[in-house]
Amino acid sequence: MTLPELLIRSLTATDAPVYFAFRLAGLAESPLAFGRSAEEYRHEPLETVAAGLAEHLGERVTLGAFLSGELVGAMTAVRELTLKRRHKGNIYAVYVSPAARGQRVGETLLSALLAWAGAVPGLEQLHLAVSVTQEPARRLYLRHGFQVYGLEPKALRVNGRDIDDELMVRFLDG
Ligand SMILES: CC(C)(COP(=O)(O)OP(=O)(O)OC[C@H]1O[C@@H](n2cnc3c(N)ncnc32)[C@H](O)[C@@H]1OP(=O)(O)O)[C@@H](O)C(=O)NCCC(=O)NCCS
């Protein structure tokens, strides 16, 4: 069986409706993985989603992964704004649809995101927080050179369950 070709590209404001549906489904399917809840996100205005996807060269990017034209994965990186923090960025909203998992979609997206970050002058670190429950995500990050530097106890409370977040950083070469 040949797998359909995986296309990775930056999303733009015109992808907002598709991205909104994708993100909402992800928040509903993996509530332990994210700080935002589906209940809150479903009220997000489409203009806000579009503004978040609009191109800001070197400042933020959402990469989408498409299989047979369908959005099956996405990740966002946002550079810090202030002078003293501009050497750092954060990764958010990492998600691959359940049916597309285990086919290197996450690997390919994260490699592309690291390549994007590596090409931004002055950007030296990428940070993220990952719920300790999200084992495949933790392994993905550790495989890509992220190091654990802390633990935020009870970072999330999901339906009365407290979840710790592991804090990770990836230093970018050069
Ligand atoms: C974390 C996540 C993005 C990974 O996406 P993915 O596309 O399945 O990732 P990959 O396919 O690149 O890797 C997943 C696993 O499949 C394995 N794999 C990849 N291609 C494979 C192949 N062709 N054959 C067998 N195994 C394969 C990888 O080695 C990896 O194994 P591991 O988890 O045991 O280390 C996905 O599981 C997800 O969305 N989880 C829920 C949300 C979440 O936790 N987000 C993180 C928030 S911080």
CATH value at residue 27: 3.40.630.30
Residue found under tokens 């700080």: 35
Distance from Cα 133 to the centre of ligand 1, integer Å: 14
Mean pLDDT, range 122-142, rounded to an integer:
98
Q: Which domain holds residue 30?
A: 6-171
With respect to residue 1, please indicate whether it lies within any of the assigned structural domains: no
Average pLDDT score, the chain: 96
- Give CA torsion, residues 74, 90, 35, 61, to 10 deg: -30
CB-ligand 1 contact for 134 (6 Å cutoff): yes
The backbone region for 145, taken as left when phi is positive above 0, alpha when psi lies in -120 to 50, beta otherwise, is left
Cβ-contact 92, 60 below 8 angstroms: no
Distance from Cα 62 to the centre of ligand 1, integer Å: 18
CB-ligand 1 contact for 95 (6 Å cutoff): yes
Distance from Cα 98 to the centre of ligand 1, integer Å: 10
What is d(CA 121, CA 124) in angstroms, rounded to the nearest whole number? 8
Ligand 1 pocket test, pick from 94, 143, 164 with the greatest ligand atom count within 8 Å of Cβ, gives 94
With respect to residue 55, please indicate whether it lies within any of the assigned structural domains: yes
In sign, the C-alpha dihedral spanning 17, 18, 22, 25 is: positive
What is the pLDDT confidence band of residue 112, given thresholds at 50, 70 and 90? very high
With respect to residue 139, please indicate whether it lies within any of the assigned structural domains: yes
Looking at residue 55, its pLDDT comes to 85
Cβ-contact 170, 145 below 8 angstroms: yes
With respect to residue 82, please indicate whether it lies within any of the assigned structural domains: yes
CB-ligand 1 contact for 98 (6 Å cutoff): no
Q: What is the total count of domains within the chain? A: 1
pLDDT tens-digit series, residues 47-103: 999 999 998 999 999 999 999 999 999 999 999 999 999 999 999 999 999 999 999
Q: Give the number of other Cβ atoms within 10 Å of residue 46's Cβ.
A: 12
**Nearest-atom index, ligand 1, CA of 105:** 7
Distance from Cα 97 to the centre of ligand 1, integer Å: 10
- Give CA torsion, residues 121, 130, 144, 65, to 10 deg: -80
CB-ligand 1 contact for 103 (6 Å cutoff): yes
Q: Is the pLDDT of residue 2 over 70?
A: no
With respect to residue 103, please indicate whether it lies within any of the assigned structural domains: yes
CB-ligand 1 contact for 104 (6 Å cutoff): yes
